[in-house]
Structure 1
């Protein structure tokens, strides 16, 4: 019997909407700069992700009161999200490379938005933590594909500028988070910290459906590497829990050692599995590409330096008698400088300056700022100025570094490359918070000033790592293998 190959359009209309990427309307894709519409759409996710990351901690007080929970229990609202996000970024990128980056990006937004609504309705702390895990799964689908959608939409000569706009959207979300979060918690209550994501998510879903291009280059896989996913999840989760425990949490030393041992063993197992698997979760050949290897080291270092001061500065300034409002305003100098450099750097710096040169210049600037923070008085004016300087350096470094990495990743693996970039960002974020917290904890007996100088010295050392990574990076801006031009549909 000959199998039927035709299907009723009416019967399969909704399944197709859910499983097939829709082409952009002709009026959109025929525009000369239609790729900017795609970049703008991705900026919704970049903004919302960082807004959510910086806003949730302001709800801790309300959560403790409503659920009568300890601070340690409430911290799992953030920790469960971070652990899930970092563990799923590379697998999410791998799935997107196989099934479509636009499709999985939109699925991620849908999951994130629905989970945000559920978080606001959570009847208990346990339910809230569970919904945050689901929310993080949606965020992983968004973040793994955001960089990939930008780099496969923008022409190569505009890639760095497009990534700069995306980075600026992240910085804007980071800057507005404390202000928006404080206003929402004090007026409407902690549940609106999560509900604020819903209208933005709906707008982004509709915009993405019509403005994002379809995936042109894919990497088909016969089956998904579930064993690799399990090993990667154990490695990242154990490592992040170990870092959190070492930064001053009441965990015995043998417990911290056990977590790091589990991370090392499972990480070794993951690498071994990827070398032997017929369809690996991560093609290890990507990590042997010079631009990718040193670029990821630079990305981790950059985000560590970006998030470390977010913990350090409020502690130092409030200890010196400044109000929380003053500390918050001073802190906005960092993301403000970041956004300014990320959006305006291409206009101000010479066009002949390569990505490597921009990375070196940016890393040198934030190294200078962190070194100065270790020696100058920790007053309001000095701190604000040095944070702005660090932001300018990071805003110059980050788009160029991301462009250098993604230019070296084949277009068919852009989702995996984007997942790696965002996993490095997640690890850098966690390490930045943990290392500064650990330095302040260890120096508690010597006073806040000593802890602040130790913390700034650590951040200066990490900045030096970023400088070395940029120096060892590739010396040209040539396109990577099989790099796609901007999508046409």
Structure 2
């Protein structure tokens, strides 16, 4: 009787390809600087994410003309992206902790690239907004894992420097966005603002496959916290819509109050649910660590100060008769100072300076700069050095603050931690834009100058939270690698 030969089902092989992280080639994994190759790959994604965030606003005029739409309708191209991104960052990090950070990062880049191509081909404004939601979902998978991949790839003593390089890549993308966007829109059209992501995304996918290490420590999840995801999304969406509506939109006061009430109730429900859930989306124990809780407040404040002037300065300078080109050139001083301090802080500052001391130094510098912005004449000659000083302070503060957060989080939860850091960054971005817009709106009767003074004072006051974060995060700083093996610099794949 003949023996029937069987083989492994093809579907199972394809399932393994799609759900398993592939190891790096031995020639790459064994290199002494393999961790820098991984960090460089993540920096590529960080650069593209910030470039895309700052480039899209340059398309508003063309979108209004091309789709015969109002400015309020066109703004949803950015708003839908931001709301989706902030809501999905923590869940994306939680999934990555369970299923692999490299795997989810590459899926995120693939989705981001496909959605970018769809955005460039969108036949209507509604379709473009829908594709931006998909693009944001891909960006959430990338951004939630970026900080985690850096901290788990770099040796413990090089984590702060690696995070500084990543922050510099973000600042560079932010600085080049207006220039690149203006050039693309004026020469090739608005569709290429999205289309340019496609070849870059394909290159990044290949690089990530070969250069990123496999996940070494994971947190197994028996059941995904869908209720927690819904409550978190409702909290962030209600809060961001409420702040946006209060910033001068033609929305009744009762509607704004309802949005904030919904956000507050959902936030309370989320916190209560996380304490009782068997597999919570965010482990409450993480937020009870002072370095994490105050560090997240500091991250929010830092990005509030970074993005607030991006709205304030062009409004002030153009109202005084400057061109958009000059306003953009002046504005570059802020991300340029950020990139310089973030990338060069390890060489410029004493190595004996602790992360907490760097946080305090950076926070003091950028808070002082924002206070000065409310006092100096609002001309390019004065604004440029003040913005550069603010950027230098942020560049010193951000890598040290993120290092304190990630060192206090076990490696098995680093994806969740990275998601929390990026969610704080997204909320700070939105608040920076909204608070400045609100201050300018409330001071409209007194003129742009008065609104600018109020905006700078608000930014200086709120950024004081970052100083409190640096002072109150009194948990001992880790002296070496964490017990679960994070940041050894050499992975198994």
Provide TM-score, normalisation by structure 2.
0.97
Q: Report if the CA contact (8 A) 1:354-1:476 is conserved.
A: no
Q: Deviations over 1:443-473 (max 9, x none)?
A: 0100111000000001111222111111111
Post-superposition offset of 1:398: 0.3
Q: Report if the CA contact (8 A) 1:355-1:401 is conserved.
A: yes
Aligned pairs for 1:5-404 within 5 A: 8=8, 12-404=12-404
Distance 1:473 1:322, change over 3 A: same
Alignment RMSD (CA, Å): 1.2
Q: Report if the CA contact (8 A) 1:407-1:483 is conserved.
A: no
Post-superposition offset of 1:477: 3.0
| Map of 2:3 onto structure 1 | none
User: Aligned pair 1:482/2:456, yes or no?
Assistant: no
Matched residue SS, 1:103:
helix
CA distance in 1, matches of 2:483, 2:462: 31
| Map of 2:437 onto structure 1 | 437
Post-superposition offset of 1:36: 0.2
Post-superposition offset of 1:13: 4.1
Q: Report if the CA contact (8 A) 1:116-1:194 is conserved.
A: yes
CA distance in 1, matches of 2:405, 2:67: 44
Aligned pairs for 1:419-458 within 5 A: 419-458=419-458
Q: Report if the CA contact (8 A) 2:98-2:221 is conserved.
A: yes
Matched residue SS, 2:204:
helix
Q: Report if the CA contact (8 A) 2:247-2:441 is conserved.
A: yes
Q: Report if the CA contact (8 A) 1:163-1:403 is conserved.
A: yes
Post-superposition offset of 1:171: 0.3
Q: Report if the CA contact (8 A) 2:303-2:429 is conserved.
A: yes
Structure 1: stretches of 5+ with no match in the other structure: 1-5
CA distance in 1, matches of 2:460, 2:105: 36
CA distance in 2, matches of 1:11, 1:422: 36
CA distance in 2, matches of 1:475, 1:341: 26
Residue correspondences, number: 484
Matched residue SS, 2:362:
helix
CA distance in 1, matches of 2:91, 2:81: 16
Post-superposition offset of 1:11: 5.9
Q: Deviations over 1:199-239 (max 9, x none)?
A: 11111100000000000100001111111111111111001
CA distance in 2, matches of 1:116, 1:481: 40
Matched residue SS, 1:243:
helix
CA distance in 1, matches of 2:85, 2:273: 22
Matched residue SS, 2:220:
coil
Q: Deviations over 1:33-66 (max 9, x none)?
A: 1000000000111001100100001000111111
Q: Report if the CA contact (8 A) 2:46-2:143 is conserved.
A: yes
Matched residue SS, 1:299:
helix
Distance 1:481 1:253, change over 3 A: farther
Post-superposition offset of 1:14: 3.4
CA distance in 2, matches of 1:432, 1:70: 24
Matched residue SS, 2:201:
helix
CA distance in 1, matches of 2:375, 2:434: 22
CA distance in 2, matches of 1:119, 1:217: 36
Q: Report if the CA contact (8 A) 1:228-1:274 is conserved.
A: yes
| Map of 1:413 onto structure 2 | 413
CA distance in 2, matches of 1:475, 1:347: 26
Post-superposition offset of 1:17: 2.1
Distance 1:433 1:481, change over 3 A: farther
Q: Report if the CA contact (8 A) 2:294-2:470 is conserved.
A: yes
Deviates most, 280-289 or 459-468: 459-468
Post-superposition offset of 1:192: 0.5
CA distance in 1, matches of 2:210, 2:17: 12
CA distance in 2, matches of 1:166, 1:203: 19
Q: Report if the CA contact (8 A) 2:175-2:335 is conserved.
A: yes
Q: Report if the CA contact (8 A) 1:60-1:74 is conserved.
A: yes
Q: Report if the CA contact (8 A) 1:218-1:413 is conserved.
A: yes
CA distance in 2, matches of 1:235, 1:460: 26
